[in-house]
Amino acid sequence: MISDMAVKAARGGWDDKEHQKLCDGKECFRCGFLARQQKLQRQHSWLCSKYSAEKDRWGLGCKVCSEVQAKDASLMNLYRVDKHHFANFEVCGGDLRLQRFKKHADSPSHEAAARFMSGGRSKAVEEDEKSAPSYAEWQAVLQSKDAKHVARAKKLNVMRWCLASAFRGRMRDFAKEALCISVQQDARGNRFLSRFKMVNSKLEVFEGTLALAKHAATVEQPGSVGIRRRTMLGLENLASGTPPPAYSSVKADAIDTSPEKELYRQLVEKVECFAADAAADEQLAGRELSSTPMLAGPDPMPLKDVMEQSLPNLKVIQRDRAHAGQRMMMRPWKADPVISLIMHQFVEKTNSPAKFITYFPNLQQIYEDLRQRSTEDVKLSKHVHSFAYAPQRYASESQTLCRMVLTIDAVIGMLATVQETRRGCAEAAAAVETLASITTERLLLLSMLGDAALEQYRMIAFLDSSDLDEAEIPEQFLFYHQKLDCMFRKQQVLHIGGLTALMLTKLKEARSVMLTNGQSVSWGGPCAVTSEMLEQCLSRMAAYCVLSHQTWQAEFPSFELMANFQCFSCSAKTAASTTSTQNGMLQQLAKIIGVHAPTLQAEYHDLRPVAIKYAKQASLTNFEAWKRAIEVTQRQRDNHPADALVPVLARYGCWCSSSSNVERGFGIAKQSRNVGCSQDEHIAREEDLLILNQDVIPKLTEQTQKELCQQAARLWRECCKRVRLSGVTERDDRWDRGIPSKRAKTGEAGFLERRAAATDALVMTPSASAPTPLTVDAIQDVFGDSHNKELKFIDSKLKKHKMEAYLQGHLPEGSEHPGILQEAEAYREKLRQGQRERNNEHRKAQRRTVAKQDAWGADMTVFVHSSVRDLGFRLVDNPCVTEIWKADLLILPNPRAATDDVRFIAGLSGSALCEPEFVRTGGSKGVAVAFCRAMSTQRKIHVTPRFMGDHTEECRGLLQLLKLQGCKWQPLARQEIFNMMEGGLNQKQANQTIVLCVQEEKDDFRQKLKHVFTMPEALASPIFVCEDRTRSRTGLAKGF
């Protein structure tokens, strides 16, 4: 069907002047082209018009593509030129912008046609182009989530691998030019993800995925050792290629996966910043990766199967900012017993209302029904079915508290229903407990907690941004604490349209619930909220503000190196900072980065006005404004030098203290995993999808898409055989995709937006001033032991961070206090001691699991139990004995169920017990229980006659073992032991002396001797029976 525009353009046939006479010119595509014909054809000489008398149609097209289609249709069909309409002169509507025709000029089909017309296309080139998927197919893989219409699963995996490998190639090219690199990493479940950020001398930023691995720690290298190893392997992964997935067309050994040693060396030397969450093993791994031995000890456990052991230029080890911001909210809550009780009852306990409504569908339905029947001051959307409580998410508590306060009547009604409908169950008991804890004051405090949590969430959302600006953190925290000060110390929380104001309105109405235990709970009423109650609640929240501020100072200390980047802030408040303050920050940065401080200061003050100008005019971020200042002064570099400034700005853009992109990467990887695949399958394909979905597609432009597809096609030709063509179907896209909605927000979103504007207005007014520090004495009535305990914890954390900054050389001059050298030496000794203990534990674990000694030898003397001999078991090579005490190896039906005399003698002699299968297989299979030789330790032993009479076999073996050469046990007669007891024993003699006796004789020796045993006690004591795990075998696996 021909459109009206096409009919209008066809008037006048082939004669353009005739058309202009017949056409009124209004909204005519042909008239518009005739008016712009010279300009368009000057840019694109191939553009021309054509009139078809057969179809009575006029249209624009490409004469090059049209001629090639007539001469060699197979070439143009390869690129599906019929979808572009230029070769058929079917362009007769739409706009006439140059960009539209430039898009066709840059298309692969037009380029192929131009090569054909210039004679540069040979048969070999044709075959080469046909051997890879078309540009449209690569484009469809990038733009479609499943792309099932392009290819089947295996071919699709190879195409994604080609695209991801092409992007990895761009990573490697950029890494060669980078000035510095930062690494961010984390572990979740059985996945370990590491990412990087690089900046070059042009201040261009490149981010990407280093590696997605199945595990961080291994049996041989657990904990921080495994994390270090995985970090180094991630850098090795970037410096090497990844093998293609299994596919019938993949050529054998087509890709060299060995790492480029020179590139790997550059990567290791350029990594200067390490960021992870505050987990002990993550931070320890960062300190051990540093070449500074003072941070973790001088002797870290060596890594296996890696090319390098450490990062020699690692300067900064950071804790994730968003996690630290979360601790600013959670720790002050837990320090106050009343607030902690409220959070426990309503949110955190196993059967809390928040978890009822989130995890129980039937209780969720009750909650929804009650919401429809109750009055809500802020009407939530009908799509809000639950609180979506998830403790691991940053927004969880704030969203949960907000929705709980907004629908408090429905929440309490749901609890009242649960106590009736689930009597005798844990849910009913928990509901009764929560209902019994409800008072007017606690509900009011719950709403204040919700207001504080919403402000805290806004702060965490800033810290959780993927492009966190370190220079803006101090100002944002000042803004946040000013708002808390106005809300709770100046009591503005009672007047702004927030959760507290809504709760005060709710509490004007009386409510009452009868519990199943016969008690009634009442709250609210016309006079329920008193001035004393408000003062008490506000005092508690003021104490919360004090602890939150102190936690901020400990988590974000002003003396840490990253705080010095504040001098690059272009905001109005920070711009007013004194020159001496800025110079102090620059001097500290210059010392760590290695540039000349006076030169840096001069260049900084020269270009700072330019950066502030562009930040204000073009609404640029701080880093972009400084980058623009460097660019615009490039031609006048002699007058505006930046030799010292550029390296510092590169670190400002590169050093990343947030692992938020790693957290997002875990979510993207989980969503990208194929349905039905377990977490342990297809880890390499998961990494390819992660690179495409997180690093490539969100930042894709038309030019980068074209280059990436060309590189991917080249990779396909290198590693795959020719593949048959696949069809690509068109997808209809929404016409309004990407256009923001202008509708006003209502419901919960509208309430949160209005509330945020109201709290911001509290401190944005000209009369607003910075909060004065609140002393503990002012809130002493609510400040208890738990608050003081939290303050001590915060103080110890601040001292620890200060000591770490001092050891790294990050502490500004003048910040050292008297005695810091002695404290630093004590701290270093503590680190060394901790490292020795960790190394010993690691070595013990390795000996017990993977580095086991051989428990079987062909020259061992063997004792074969009678029950085993009866089964026909015979030994040919090994010498056999008939006495247990003479044997190195005892073959029993069940080694773990050996008799007391066998275990006693085996423990003394250090022999091993095993089953016949262990001997048959030469120690590779079967169970073996080996013992440490007790008689290798210096001891003196006395055995009473009554003990000998009760345990004849054990004592006979003991007597024989005492006669052997190498035995360090010395027997004591009765008179000798009593003489020693009467004369007194020193500590060494008491530890070395042993007595074996019966139960009735214990009291005679216990008063003077430390080690007095009956037979059951001796068998349970490591002095006599101590299993040697390095020689024992479980039978679960070979050598294990």
Find out whether 411 and 357 touch, Cβ atoms under 8 Å.
yes
Identify the pLDDT of residue 728. 43
Burial of 880 (0-12, 13-18, 19+ CB in 10 A): middle
Report the sign of the C-alpha dihedral through residues 91, 93, 99, 103, in that order.
negative
Identify the pLDDT of residue 1017. 93
969 vs 977: CA distance, rounded Å: 15
Strand order in the sheet with 271-276: 205-213, 191-200, 178-188, 271-276, 316-319
> Pick from 546, 551, 333: which is nearest to 453 by CA?
333
Identify the pLDDT of residue 516. 86
pLDDT tens-digit map of 603-620 = 999 999 999 999 988 889
Identify the pLDDT of residue 109. 78
The mean pLDDT value of the chain amounts to 83
Is residue 762 over pLDDT 90? Answer: no
The SS3 of residue 51 is strand
Is residue 730 over pLDDT 50? Answer: no
CB hemisphere CA count around 551 (13 angstroms):
26
455 vs 480: CA distance, rounded Å: 7
Identify the pLDDT of residue 805. 84
Strands 178-188 and 191-200: antiparallel
The SS3 of residue 600 is helix
Identify the pLDDT of residue 768. 56
Beta bridge mates, 938: none
Q: Strands, DSSP E only, in 824-882?
A: 862-864, 880-881
577 vs 570: CA distance, rounded Å: 11
Instruction: Provide the residue count of the chain.
Output: 1040
Identify the pLDDT of residue 127. 52
* CB-based contacts of 131, cutoff 8 Å, min separation 6: 716, 717, 720, 721, 722, 723
Is residue 852 over pLDDT 70? Answer: no
pLDDT tens-digit map of 805-820 = 888 888 887 778 788 8
Range scoring the smallest mean pLDDT among 18-22, 303-307, 854-858:
854-858
Structure tokens given for 459: 């702060």
Find out whether 910 and 931 touch, Cβ atoms under 8 Å.
yes
Structural element, H or E, at residue 1012: strand 1011-1013
> Pick from 621, 706, 681, 586: which is nearest to 102 by CA?
706
CB hemisphere CA count around 280 (13 angstroms):
3
Is residue 647 over pLDDT 90? Answer: yes
Identify the pLDDT of residue 124. 44
Is residue 849 over pLDDT 60? Answer: no
The SS3 of residue 330 is helix
Confidence of residue 771 (pLDDT cuts 50, 70, 90): low
Burial of 397 (0-12, 13-18, 19+ CB in 10 A): buried
Segment 416-429 shows an average pLDDT of 89
Amino acid at 23: C
Percent of the chain topping pLDDT 90: 24
Find out whether 29 and 93 touch, Cβ atoms under 8 Å.
yes
Find out whether 972 and 942 touch, Cβ atoms under 8 Å.
yes
Identify the pLDDT of residue 911. 92
Q: What is the pTM of this model?
A: 0.72
Find out whether 602 and 507 touch, Cβ atoms under 8 Å.
no
More reliable by pLDDT, 958 or 775:
958
Identify the pLDDT of residue 878. 73
- Highest mean pLDDT: which range of 323-337, 346-360, 379-393, 707-721: 346-360
Is residue 533 over pLDDT 90? Answer: yes
Segment 726-744 shows an average pLDDT of 49
Confidence of residue 9 (pLDDT cuts 50, 70, 90): low
115 vs 123: CA distance, rounded Å: 12
Segment 765-791 shows an average pLDDT of 70
Report the sign of the C-alpha dihedral through residues 822, 827, 828, 832, in that order.
positive
User: In the block, which residue shows the tokens 């500004």?
Assistant: 812
222 vs 629: CA distance, rounded Å: 48
User: In the block, which residue shows the tokens 């109650």?
Assistant: 533
- Highest mean pLDDT: which range of 3-12, 247-256, 538-547, 815-824: 538-547
Structure tokens given for 341: 């009780």
Segment 1011-1020 shows an average pLDDT of 92
pLDDT tens-digit map of 23-34 = 876 778 778 888
353 vs 71: CA distance, rounded Å: 75
Identify the pLDDT of residue 586. 93
Is residue 310 over pLDDT 70? Answer: yes
Identify the pLDDT of residue 1021. 92
CB atoms within 10 A of CB 460: 21
Is residue 1031 over pLDDT 80? Answer: yes
Segment 949-955 shows an average pLDDT of 91
DSSP state of 528: -
Find out whether 5 and 58 touch, Cβ atoms under 8 Å.
no
Is residue 77 over pLDDT 50? Answer: yes
994 vs 1001: CA distance, rounded Å: 14
Alpha helices in 407-530, H assignment, sequence order:
408-421, 426-436, 440-463, 473-484, 499-506
pLDDT tens-digit map of 162-208 = 899 899 999 999 999 999 999 999 988 888 999 999 999 999 999 99
Find out whether 999 and 945 touch, Cβ atoms under 8 Å.
no
CB atoms within 10 A of CB 406: 26
> Pick from 446, 415, 435: which is nearest to 340 by CA?
446
Locate the domains of the chain by residue range: 4-130, 153-320+659-719, 326-463+473-539+747-764, 561-654, 862-930, 934-1020
- Highest mean pLDDT: which range of 196-210, 467-481, 570-584, 682-696: 196-210
* CB-based contacts of 532, cutoff 8 Å, min separation 6: none
Identify the pLDDT of residue 179. 94
